[in-house]
Structure 1
Amino acid sequence: MKKTSGHSSEPAAEWTVRPSDHDEYPEAARVVGEALLAPSTVEENLPHLRPLMDESGYDRVLVALDGDEVVGSVNSFGFEMTMPGGPRPVAGVTGVGVWPTHRRRGVLSALMRHQLRDLRERGESLAALWASEGAIYGRFGYGAASMEAELTIARPHTALVPDAPRDPALTVHLLGADAAREQVVEVFQRVFPTQVGRFRRSDVWWDRVLRDTPDARGGHGPLKVALVTDADGPQGYALYRTRPEIGPAGWNSELRVQEMVAATPAARVALYDHVCNRDLIATVVVDNTAVDDPLWTLLADRQRISAVPRTVLWMRLVDVPAALAERSYAAPVDTVVEISDRYAPWNAGRWRIKADGDDAGVEATDAAADLSMDVSHLGAAFLGRHTLTAQAAAGVVAEHTPGAADRLDAALRLPHAPLCGVVF
């Protein structure tokens, strides 16, 4: 793989990219930590990273070498993630970094090309990542496919609408993370297959989500669990922390919800009633919410919500026909899309998508294209929230047949916004 000089005056040469192993992993982690300006050392982070890597497998870590020196790395977790149509294998790309002295010399390009081939050989037709910088991954075929929001409400504006569904059979318990873990996992396992963007969590991932060490608290107090139950068992939970603060005008404390998962609307209302009505709390922050979170409907005065949106999942079609054939479609569609793909040339060409509900077929064709686009723009539309119609209006998707983008958007549409909730 050629390394190009970019902004460097050094001549082009060949980068060596290969899988890593258990013993070399600290060097890969050191590169990524330095690239991402990690506040702690590799030695401090390894106790938290090793369990994830021991489970995932070190062969998924790729390193780029300059002689014997590790100068770049990329990793992926083999997730079972809920996609349109249900849970299926998705590569959770993570641990991407290049040593600062080797930037803009083709290291990342070499790593990305190698990883895409590797993922394809593993049979993973989709990859997803959280981006540290939004300008990086579009050129590698990733599209910004979903957003989440942090919602903030100041007391006394946290009242819910009078007709919010409240079930007297529900009880809210306040527990520690260890005491509630079994019930929390039970609720999540029930809900995750219905929420596009969630991935199945192993015990190791639950250890990470529920970690309650001082460095995980971010200046807040211990992790608390509001657990909603009825006669049939747990129906929902909220993980949250509080930060007490008192000033000249009185209490100015914050309650920050890390995650809220509910199996029923009434369970969600019970959770919102709990977190919005804690004594001495001046501000409630609900992090990691879908952009269509029910709180927008449930809050009596929705204009009191201050929302900070952020791009979350970037989606990459590793194998275009396989990824399109595996998903479900909300409306019948029969269209031809022409795909360009610089980093995965096996995707380039014209593909006929013929789908009706859960039954879809995708095959190569010589027919005229209704739409033409880079694979990144199809990735951005894959989760059904960012439309091809909007991308056509921006001029980055070419529509050759009038209405083709709108018809494919209708087929790709999802009834609810995606939600991942955990940075990987």
Structure 2
Amino acid sequence: MTTELRELGPDGWDEWYETLVAAFNKIPEPPENRAFDRSVTETDRSFGMWDGKELVGTAGTYSFGLSVPGGAIVPAGGLTMVGVLPTHRRRGILRRMIRHHLEDVRQRGEPLSVLTASEPAIYGRFGYGAATQLLSARIDTGRVRLQVPEGAGGIRLRLADPVEALPRCEEVYARRVTERPGMLERRPGWEQVEVLDPPGERNDGSPLQCVLAERGGEVVGYARYAIRREPNAPGVVARSVLLRGLEADDLDAYASLWRFLFDIDLTSSVTVPDRPVDDAWQHLVSDIRQCRVQLRDSLYLRPVEVGAALSARSYAAGVDVVLEVTDGFCPWNEGRWRLTGGTDGASCVRTDGPADLELSVRELGAAYLGGVSLVSLARAGRVRELRGGALTEAATAFSSPVAPWLPHGF
């Protein structure tokens, strides 16, 4: 088989997208989602694989800024829209597309590549590590009380149209990005992902709703939500609040928004998807067992340029270690790197000195945002300590006091 990789032209989007849909078993997307996908597609970073005149594989890249420990925003290429037709799998097409993506990311000077995986088992062999998790919960508000700290007041709540309120909500979101690793600096157009609300996906629920938390006339927090009927449950009270997003500048606004969600009339639960694993509401509830908390993988990350990636973030404690890195897919990362730095910044350069730790680029990707411990990876046999004390030193430095979190997929 002879296949050819070509860049997506300005008139080729529909064929490209239909090929992606076919690769995912022809499960159609709502027209609203399709329109959004088209609006954010970067055609100069999207490409396909052709077998003669047939388009058989698709992939693309988004130009993102990713928050990292220390608050810096680091350029990252977001791998997306990856699909291969069932007739052309296991022929090296995916490998060629990912290689093209990584070479393009490197050429553009982006130290990181990130993705969200429909099949996580695929991407480890290309050097991607699971760097963040998502928390979901189902809170029985009939049995769980919210214990709001004393003095949390001064907040006025106001219902607002989600689309009209979007610019002010985005101001709150933007202030939060540098405070938590793993968040995306939303480029123009991406704010619309927060208010996508296809009627066909409401599952007999309400349209998207929004409540603003204000202090002195300024928006200091927001929550987006919908009300859905509980499946197979009779009665008007058998409804759930589905949280679609919540950000707040401070504890008063945060607690006021959660209290609002708990107290909505004619509802018996709050469904909480896709939140940070350290979300503070878990310490405000009276009974965490009644909240049915679950975790799942979210953002996958791989350093494309090890030196630039490790130099771009700061570290929780002083560190001076030599890392022996293996990277079979991006051989320019292979070898020894000396990482020195601390809370004020870092440097990572090549060295001939003896290695302190041995690991692959996949482990670096998993640990990069501070959500996965190098000690845990070492206990799984994925990191090897060569100098006594180096593992604890590096693990402490790589850690983050705030859990990394990807607020939405791409």
* TM tier relative to shorter chain: over 0.9
Q: Give the distance between the partners of 1:356 and 1:201, measured in 2 at CA.
A: 28
**Secondary structure of the corresponding residue to residue 148 of structure 1:** strand
**Secondary structure of the corresponding residue to residue 174 of structure 1:** strand
Q: Give the distance between the partners of 1:43 and 1:250, measured in 2 at CA.
A: 31
Give 1:332's aligned amino acid.
G
Aligned to 2:395: 409
Aligned positions of 1:167-182 closer than 5 A: 167=153, 169-182=154-167
**Secondary structure of the corresponding residue to residue 159 of structure 1:** coil
Identity of aligned residues (%): 35
Aligned to 1:355: 341
Q: How big is the shift at 1:21?
A: 1.6
Q: Give the distance between the partners of 1:151 and 1:71, measured in 2 at CA.
A: 39
Q: How big is the shift at 1:358?
A: 2.5
Correspondent of 1:93 among 56, 79, 90: 79
Q: How big is the shift at 1:67?
A: 2.1
Does residue 374 of the first structure (1) align with residue 360 of the second (2)?
yes
Aligned to 2:52: 67
Alpha-carbon distance change, 250 to 214 in structure 1, aligned in 2, over 3 angstroms:
closer
Does residue 224 of the first structure (1) align with residue 224 of the second (2)?
no
Q: How big is the shift at 1:28?
A: 2.3
Aligned positions of 1:293-312 closer than 5 A: 293-312=279-298
Q: Give the distance between the partners of 2:211 and 2:31, measured in 1 at CA.
A: 34
CA contact (8 A) 1:77 1:91 kept: yes
Q: Give the distance between the partners of 2:233 and 2:328, measured in 1 at CA.
A: 57
Give 1:58's aligned amino acid.
T
Alpha-carbon distance change, 161 to 47 in structure 1, aligned in 2, over 3 angstroms:
closer
CA contact (8 A) 1:165 1:265 kept: no
Does residue 37 of the first structure (1) align with residue 22 of the second (2)?
no
| Cα shift readout 1:191-213 (whole Å, capped 9, x = no counterpart) | 22222222122442222321233
TM-score by length of 1: 0.91
Give 1:74's aligned amino acid.
A
More deviation, 315-324/223-232 = 223-232
Q: Give the distance between the partners of 2:26 and 2:188, measured in 1 at CA.
A: 25
Q: Give the distance between the partners of 1:415 and 1:117, measured in 2 at CA.
A: 33
Q: Give the distance between the partners of 1:14 and 1:360, measured in 2 at CA.
A: 46
**Secondary structure of the corresponding residue to residue 178 of structure 1:** coil
Alpha-carbon distance change, 355 to 251 in structure 1, aligned in 2, over 3 angstroms:
same
Identify unmatched segments of 5+ residues in structure 1: 1-12
CA contact (8 A) 2:319 2:397 kept: yes
CA contact (8 A) 2:146 2:262 kept: no
Q: How big is the shift at 1:250?
A: 6.1
Does residue 251 of the first structure (1) align with residue 237 of the second (2)?
yes
Q: Give the distance between the partners of 2:372 and 2:398, measured in 1 at CA.
A: 10
Alpha-carbon distance change, 46 to 183 in structure 1, aligned in 2, over 3 angstroms:
closer
Aligned positions of 1:11-410 closer than 5 A: 15-40=3-28, 46-53=34-41, 57-85=42-70, 86-161=72-147, 163=149, 166-167=152-153, 169-231=154-216, 233-244=218-229, 247-248=233-234, 251-410=237-396
| Cα shift readout 1:71-91 (whole Å, capped 9, x = no counterpart) | 112111001221223212111
Alpha-carbon distance change, 208 to 38 in structure 1, aligned in 2, over 3 angstroms:
farther
TM-score by length of 2: 0.94
Q: Give the distance between the partners of 2:215 and 2:236, measured in 1 at CA.
A: 37
Q: Give the distance between the partners of 1:280 and 1:214, measured in 2 at CA.
A: 22
Identify unmatched segments of 5+ residues in structure 2: none
CA contact (8 A) 2:169 2:221 kept: yes
Q: How big is the shift at 1:270?
A: 0.2
Aligned to 1:7: none
What is the number of residues matched between the two proteins? 408
Q: Give the distance between the partners of 1:62 and 1:341, measured in 2 at CA.
A: 25
